């Protein structure tokens, strides 16, 4: 059949991954969470002591990039691929507010981006992929047949992320989650290399007032027109 590439970009916590996963499962496509890859590199840097509150040893991280292996393995029970850092499943470890606090700094490093974009393009080589992130429609797959740009107010997004973190047992306060969302919006949109920006040919969906079902139907409607 006529397999396409679907790029879903947008700000932090817009619910991109939920929709991307659903659409991928529906179509039998591969889902790739590109943010998980930047988070895994961040976790590596934290574990090696290369990044902490007041210091980020960028040079050391660049030196060690060839020691970092990032891969995905499909989990039958969850129905999506989990991310592995040097063969260790880090799917849960990369979702902490601490990793979220550093990831945009790591993602601003061009050498890191170059490495991860190459892996992403390799995975998407055969099409039939739904990838979410910040630069998928602009840099990773500029020729993607379908590009979605998801938006929602910072407060809506922070509430969703807060609920997620509380549900998994993390001890966080809402104000800090909101602060992190706003900080990442700023860093991701203003960095020099591959800033978060809506591709000219992307379709914008503001999901502040849309249910998951409505978002799903909307995206699936767009896909159906293309395949
Ligand atoms: O999607 P998620 O919020 O998990 O991504 C975490 C961070 O990784 C983002 O805030 C951004 O700094 C970075 N990222 C990126 N490019 C991507 C995906 C994520 O710079 N394609």
Q: Where are the domains of the chain?
A: 5-218
Known binding-site residue numbers for ATP = 10-18
| Residue closest by Cα to atom 21 of ligand 1 | 133
Q: What is the pLDDT of residue 1?
A: 65
Nearest CA to ligand 1 atom 1: 35
% residues pLDDT > 70 (the chain): 100
Report which of residues 1 and 67 the model is more confident about. 67
Mean pLDDT computed over every residue of the chain: 96
What class has domain 5-218? alpha beta
pLDDT tens per residue across span 64-77: 999 999 999 999 99
Binding-site residue positions = 10-18
Strands 30-33 and 129-133: parallel
Q: Which residue has the tokens 């896909």?
A: 223
* Residue whose tokens read 């914008």: 204
For 105-156, the pLDDT digits (tens) are 999 999 999 999 999 999 999 999 999 999 999 999 999 999 999 999 999 9
Contact in structure between 187 and 105 (CB atoms under 8 Å): yes
Q: What pTM value is reported for the model? A: 0.96
- Per-residue pLDDT band for 54 (boundaries 50, 70, 90) equals confident
């Amino acid at each position: 059949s006529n397999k396409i590439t679907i790029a879903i970009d947008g700000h932090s916590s817009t619910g991109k991954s939920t929709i991307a996963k659903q659409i991928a499962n529906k179509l039998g496509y591969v889902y790739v969470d590109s943010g998980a890859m930047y988070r895994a590199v961040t976790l590596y840097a934290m574990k090696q002591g290369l990044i902490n509150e007041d210091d980020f040893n960028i040079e050391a991280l660049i030196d060690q990039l060839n020691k970092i292996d990032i891969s995905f393995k499909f989990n039958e029970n969850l129905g999506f691929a989990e991310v592995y850092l040097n063969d260790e499943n880090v799917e849960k470890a990369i979702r902490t507010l601490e990793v979220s606090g550093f990831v945009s700094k790591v993602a601003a490093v061009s050498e890191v981006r170059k490495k991860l974009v190459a892996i992403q393009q390799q995975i998407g080589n055969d099409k039939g992929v739904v990838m979410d992130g910040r630069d998928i429609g602009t840099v990773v797959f500029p020729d993607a047949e379908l590009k979605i740009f998801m938006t929602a107010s910072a407060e809506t997004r922070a509430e969703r992320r807060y609920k997620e973190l509380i549900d998994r047992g993390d001890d966080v306060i809402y104000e800090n989650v909101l602060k992190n969302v706003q900080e990442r919006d700023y860093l991701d949109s203003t960095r020099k290399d591959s800033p978060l920006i809506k591709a000219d040919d992307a379709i914008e969906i503001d999901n502040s007032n849309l249910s998951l079902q409505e978002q799903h139907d909307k995206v699936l409607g767009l896909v159906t027109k293309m395949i």
